[in-house]
Structure 1
Amino acid sequence: MPAISVRDAWIRSDRGRLFARRWNPAPRNDRAAVVLLHDSLGCVETWRDFPARLASASGREVVAYDRLGFGRSDPHPDRLGFDFVHDEARTGLRCLRDQLGLERFVAFGHSVGGGMAIAAAAQSGADCIALITESAQAFVEDRTREGIRAARQAFAGTDRLERLARYHGDKAAWVLGAWIDTWLAPEFAGWNLDADLRAVRCPALVLHGDRDEYGSARHPQRIAGGVAGPADTHLLPDCGHVPHRERAEGVLDLVARWLDRLPPETDDARNRLSDSTT
């Protein structure tokens, strides 16, 4: 495995600082970086060794960051709004790209981060050269809400909140509440990404476990069927909600091979994609 350089960065935003980490397999790398968007209880650290392994397997820089209120980033000043998926794509991710100089990027999101990756691809046009979703939710499904209710019970009266605090510190209760309260709110029940999917014209790789406790196969079907660009779907056998841990080798191989098959990253190719959106 080639040596991977690792660098940390702090990103300024209007609401506070965001923590980011970069894994680069080469001193100079002109290929579009893969930007990781974490799940509802996640942060940079919960990706574990996956970013380094992905950088090695793909030959691309990999960047992950803690959303506001998560991990090492500053506390969130308020409750999470019901537009938080779209808001993240146009605020936190935008700040990250601007300050790290990530003009072109691959959006790779896990769980709700997958929804944010879809929103980012829809908003960014030709700058987003590819979309990868893993266990993403495209709408509010009864199965998703049932899984969250079960998790709420599991957190009650146990040391799980203390374990969550290992990653989020004294923000852990806010992180848990933001997940549960938002997804179970009646006002959020009609949320979906249908309009965003229609605006995604870059290639998409859609990964989902066949035993995902937070979403059925209807989600990858809706994502792959809804995007305007080409989509490859993989329903991973005997796999739950976190394929990059449960099936790490298989996911790394799938992603690296798929990235290698992307069209050349040239100005002409980007211009053709941009023209196709007008």
Structure 2
Amino acid sequence: MTIERELSFTSAGHRLVGTLTLPAGAGPRPGALLLPGSGPLNRDGDHRRLPLGIQRDLAAALADAGVATLRYDRRGVGDSSGRFPRTGFHENVDDAQAALAALGADPAVDAGKLFLVGHSEGALTATAMAARGVALAGMVLLAGTGRPGAEVLRWQAARLLPDLPAPVRLLLRLTRTDLVAKVARNHEKILATTGDVAWVGGQRLNARWMREFLRYDPRPDLARVTAPILALTGDKDLQTDPVDLPVIAASAGGPVQTRVLPDVTHVLRRQPGAPSLRAYRREVTNPVDASVTGAVVSWIASLG
């Protein structure tokens, strides 16, 4: 019977709280730290407007395979202290490193068999942390990118344009607005800021995180990672380009396996037909697709 218990740890004076999921049977067991995508997400990977449940589903699948997991509330979210809107990308990496240390220190976990499993921004968090030289048995990058954040966001703007509501597309045409160019101009405004929070394009942004994300290029950090890597991206992903998979493979300092998952979206669910962000709310009523959990579980089992 799977056991779940609260586990708290400290990072930069903040108390972060998560759930340690332990498989049935005697330990110590291999352990995996589950890292979520962008935004104020709780330990399960849920946003108050969109309950993704990605880390919850991964924890359940890995527990069934005999792997312990830790997932935690980000700073200023759920039971964790801090202020999320003022937390930078590299501070998220610091928090993840503290979480990995807490996972490895638990007597039910084998500290010599630790894995990182990151989704979207979490894949970048895993990469940046692994490059610091932490001891890892392997790293899983789900919908991870292989180029600077500014390039990723410009690609997203171009990729998402056909999915915008028809009135918005019409307005862009009537005003002769180049969406990609507008996004690039907003990036310049963000990079010119110096505070933690700024107003850009009528929106209040975590400017510190945005500046660090826009400038972060994962390729030099990937070159420092010698642990095995599994990189998976769905062919219906509108936020991560599957062509980044060979970039990740070419950049990494160790062995890499990559796979494009048919009909899988950025939220790791199956979506037949044309990809659309508007389908996310319906998709997340289903669990993470078995092609994702199956690939992650079998790969970690082969190394653990």
> Which category of TM-score, normalised to the shorter sequence, fits these structures?
0.7 to 0.9
Q: Cα 1:71–1:38, aligned 2, differ >3 Å: closer, same or farther?
A: farther
Q: Cα 1:181–1:99, aligned 2, differ >3 Å: closer, same or farther?
A: closer
Aligned to 1:132: 140
1:258 aligns with 2:299: yes
Q: State how far apart, in whole Å, the 1-side matches of 2:162 and 2:9 are.
A: 35
Q: Pairwise mapping of residues 57-136 of structure 1 onto structure 2 (< 5 A)?
A: 57-76=64-83, 79-81=86-88, 84=89, 86-89=90-93, 91-100=94-103, 101=105, 103-104=111-112, 105-125=114-134, 127-136=135-144
Q: Cα 1:37–1:149, aligned 2, differ >3 Å: closer, same or farther?
A: farther
Q: Cα 1:190–1:94, aligned 2, differ >3 Å: closer, same or farther?
A: closer
One-letter amino acid matched to 2:118:
G
One-letter amino acid matched to 2:23:
P
1:11 aligns with 2:46: no
Aligned to 1:36: 34
> Does the Cα contact within 8 Å between 1:117 and 1:131 map onto a contact in 2?
yes
What's the offset of the Cα at 1:229? 0.9
> Does the Cα contact within 8 Å between 2:145 and 2:241 map onto a contact in 1?
no
> Does the Cα contact within 8 Å between 1:58 and 1:256 map onto a contact in 2?
yes
Structure 2 residue matching 1:133: 3-state secondary structure:
strand
Q: Cα 1:43–1:152, aligned 2, differ >3 Å: closer, same or farther?
A: farther
Given the two structures, how large is their TM-score scaled by the length of structure 2? 0.66
One-letter amino acid matched to 1:136:
G
What's the offset of the Cα at 1:34? 0.7
Q: Among 156, 163, 172, which residue is 1:144 paired with? A: 156
Q: State how far apart, in whole Å, the 2-side matches of 1:79 and 1:43 are.
A: 16
Q: State how far apart, in whole Å, the 1-side matches of 2:124 and 2:207 are.
A: 17
Q: Which of 1 and 2 has greater Rg?
A: 2
Q: State how far apart, in whole Å, the 2-side matches of 1:179 and 1:220 are.
A: 28
One-letter amino acid matched to 1:75:
G
> Does the Cα contact within 8 Å between 2:261 and 2:291 map onto a contact in 1?
no
What's the offset of the Cα at 1:17? 1.1
Unaligned runs of 5+ in 1: 154-175, 266-278
One-letter amino acid matched to 1:59:
G
Identify, as 1 or 2, the structure richer in helix. 1
Q: Cα 1:71–1:208, aligned 2, differ >3 Å: closer, same or farther?
A: farther
Q: Cα 1:193–1:75, aligned 2, differ >3 Å: closer, same or farther?
A: same
What's the offset of the Cα at 1:25? 0.6
Q: Among 214, 219, 232, which residue is 2:257 paired with? A: 232
Q: State how far apart, in whole Å, the 2-side matches of 1:20 and 1:206 are.
A: 25
What's the offset of the Cα at 1:60? 0.8
Structure 1 residue matching 2:124: 3-state secondary structure:
helix
> Does the Cα contact within 8 Å between 1:38 and 1:113 map onto a contact in 2?
yes
Count of residue correspondences:
232
1:223 aligns with 2:232: no
Structure 1 residue matching 2:81: 3-state secondary structure:
coil
> Does the Cα contact within 8 Å between 1:212 and 1:240 map onto a contact in 2?
yes
One-letter amino acid matched to 1:61:
A
> Does the Cα contact within 8 Å between 1:24 and 1:55 map onto a contact in 2?
no
Structure 1 residue matching 2:76: 3-state secondary structure:
coil
What's the offset of the Cα at 1:151? 11
Aligned to 1:161: none
What's the offset of the Cα at 1:53? 2.2
> Does the Cα contact within 8 Å between 2:58 and 2:293 map onto a contact in 1?
no
Q: Cα 1:179–1:250, aligned 2, differ >3 Å: closer, same or farther?
A: farther
Q: State how far apart, in whole Å, the 1-side matches of 2:5 and 2:253 are.
A: 35
**RMSD, aligned CA:** 3.1
One-letter amino acid matched to 2:123:
G
Structure 1 residue matching 2:247: 3-state secondary structure:
helix
Over the matched positions of the two proteins, sequence identity in percent amounts to 24
Structure 2 residue matching 1:131: 3-state secondary structure:
strand
Q: Cα 1:194–1:99, aligned 2, differ >3 Å: closer, same or farther?
A: same
Unaligned runs of 5+ in 2: 47-52, 166-202, 270-283
Q: Cα 1:110–1:200, aligned 2, differ >3 Å: closer, same or farther?
A: same
What's the offset of the Cα at 1:189? 3.6
Q: State how far apart, in whole Å, the 2-side matches of 1:130 and 1:197 are.
A: 13
What's the offset of the Cα at 1:93? 2.2
1:209 aligns with 2:227: no
> Does the Cα contact within 8 Å between 2:143 and 2:240 map onto a contact in 1?
yes
